[in-house]
Structure 1
Amino acid sequence: MFFSGRAHEEDTVVAMLASAIRRDISFSILHPDQKLKIDALRQRYGGSNHSMREALRMLAAEGMVEATSQRGFRVTSATEDDLRDILLMRLEIEKLGLARSLERGEVAWEARVVAALHAMSRADDAVQQSPDDVTALQWDNACRDLTIALMEACASPRLIELSDKFYNQSRRFRLALLREGRIDFAARAHRHARLREAILKRDTKAALQILDEDIAADMGL
C-alpha cells in the first residue's frame, strides 16, 4: 500500500507537469522546435528529473514534443505542412465520431451537445469582451468540451482518444488565431446554430459538412 500510494502521487505530479507544459506550448510560451532541457524545465515547473522525463514522454506520445537523437526533447514544429496534416486527421476522426454519435446517440446525448454549444457561445462572448489569458484558456476548454460532446456517443474509446490527441496538437494554431484577432465570431456563431439544428434533425450529411467547415475555420484554413 505504501508503494502504491507513492506511485499514485508520482503519477499525479507527472500529469500536472504535462498539463502545465502542454498549456505553455499551446500558448506559444514554449516555441516550436525549442529545446526542452530537463534542468531548465524543473526550475520553471518543479518536479524531479524522473517526473519531468515521464511528463515529456507523455507529451511525446501526444505529439506535442519530440525526442531527439541525443535523447533530449524539443517542442514539435508548427509549419504549414504540420497544420494541414493535423487538419486532415481532425477532419477524418471527428467526422467519423460525429457520424457514429448521430447513429447511436440518444436524447441525453443531444442535450449534452446543446449544452456544450451554449457554453461555447458564452465563452465566445467572454473572450471577445475580455481577451486575456484566463478567458482564452476558458474559451479553449469550451472548444475542447464541444469536440468531446460531439463524439462521446460514438462508442469507440480509441477514436475519442485519437481525437483528443490531435485536438491538443491543433490548440496552438487556434490560440494564435485568437491572439491575432483572426477569428470571425459572427460566422462561427452561425455555423454552430446550423450544427445544432442539423444534429437535432439527425441530418448527418448537413452536420458533417458544417463540422468540416468549422474545423477548417478553427485552424485558419
Structure 2
Amino acid sequence: MSSEYPVPLQNYGGAEMDVSQTTASVVYQKLRQDILRGLLKPGERLRVNEVAQRYGCGAIPTREALSRLSAEALVLYMEQRGFAVAPISMDSLADLTHARVWTAQAAMREAVLKGDAQWEERVLLSYHRLSKVSRYESVDPPVANPAFDQPHREFHLQLFSGCGSHWMVDTCMRLFDHAERYRSLSRQVAVMPREDEHRQILDAVLQRRVDDAVSLISEHFRLTAKIVGDPGK
C-alpha cells in the first residue's frame, strides 16, 4: 500500500486540461506540505494570486488545489473572504486525539492479529529507515528536520496497513496528517526525544503482543497531544 494519496487526473478530452490538472496536483502537494509543516500558519490568508506567485503557477490550478485542501479541512473557504489555512485550537486537538486513538486501536488490533510476514517486513523496514533520520536539524534553537516527516509517516502507515481495510488505513493517515500540523508547531518550540516510543511499538507488533501494541499506540498519540498542549514540559 502506497504512503501517498494519488488523485486520478481527469481527462476531459484535451491536453490543456491534463496540464492544468497536473499543475494543480503539484501545487496541491506543495501547499499541503507547507501547511502540515507549519510554514503556512493557522488562520493565514491564502489569496489566490499570492499563492500562485509563491508556487510559480496560474490562478486556475491554484484555486483547484485550494479547493481540494478545503475538502480535507486543511483550508477554509469563506464567502467574500476567500481561502485561509484552517485554524487550530486545544479543543480541536482533544477531539482529534480521541478520534486518532479510537481508530488506531481498532486498526492496530486487527493488524497485529491478521498481519502476515510481508506486513512484518514492511513495518521493520519502515522502522529501520525512520531510525536513520534525526527528528531535529538543530536542538538549540529547535529546528525540525523535514527529512524526518516522510519516514515517520511511512512507519505509522505500515503499522496500520496490516489491518486489511483500506478505508481504515486511509482514515488513520488522514488523522495523522492533521496531527502533523500540531506536531510541527510544537517542534518549533521545544525538543522532545521520543525515539524509544517507536521502538517499543515495533517490538510489541513483531512479538504479536496485541494488548501492548494497542496500549502503546494509544499512549503515543496521547503523549503527542500532551506535548503539543504544553511543549515546555
TM normalised by structure 1 equals 0.87
Q: Where does the alignment leave 5 or more consecutive residues of structure 1 unmatched?
A: none
Which protein is richer in helix relative to its size?
A: 1
Give the direction of change, closer, same or farther, for the CA distance of 1:138–1:115 in structure 2 (3 Å limit). same
Contact in 2 for aligned 1:63/1:165 (Cα 8 Å): no
Give the direction of change, closer, same or farther, for the CA distance of 1:102–1:6 in structure 2 (3 Å limit). farther
The separation in 2 between residues aligned to 1:133 and 1:49, in whole angstroms, is 35
Of residues 164, 187, 207 in structure 1, which corresponds to 2:213? 207
Partner residue in 1 for 2:183: 174
Give the direction of change, closer, same or farther, for the CA distance of 1:157–1:135 in structure 2 (3 Å limit). same
1:115 aligns with 2:121: no
Give the direction of change, closer, same or farther, for the CA distance of 1:204–1:6 in structure 2 (3 Å limit). farther
Q: What's the CA shift for 1:55?
A: 0.4
Of residues 179, 195, 198 in structure 2, which corresponds to 1:192? 198
Amino acid at match of 1:73: F
Trace 1:37-56 onto structure 2 (pairs within 5 A): 37-56=47-66
Amino acid at match of 1:138: A
Partner residue in 1 for 2:111: 101
Contact in 2 for aligned 1:140/1:175 (Cα 8 Å): no
Q: How many residues align?
A: 216
Q: What's the CA shift for 1:177?
A: 2.4
Partner residue in 1 for 2:4: none
Give the direction of change, closer, same or farther, for the CA distance of 1:181–1:42 in structure 2 (3 Å limit). same
Q: What's the CA shift for 1:71?
A: 6.5
Cα deviation per residue 1:17-57 (whole Å; 9 max; x = unaligned)? 11111122223222111221111111111222221111011
Partner residue in 1 for 2:153: 144
Identity of matched residues, %: 24
Cα deviation per residue 1:49-79 (whole Å; 9 max; x = unaligned)? 2211110111112111111133621111111
Amino acid at match of 1:195: I
Q: What's the CA shift for 1:130?
A: 4.7
The separation in 1 between residues aligned to 2:76 and 2:177, in whole angstroms, is 15
Amino acid at match of 2:170: E
1:70 aligns with 2:76: no
TM-align CA RMSD: 2.4
The separation in 2 between residues aligned to 1:29 and 1:193, in whole angstroms, is 29
Moved over 6 A (4+): 131-135
Of residues 156, 164, 167 in structure 2, which corresponds to 1:158? 167
TM normalised by structure 2 equals 0.83
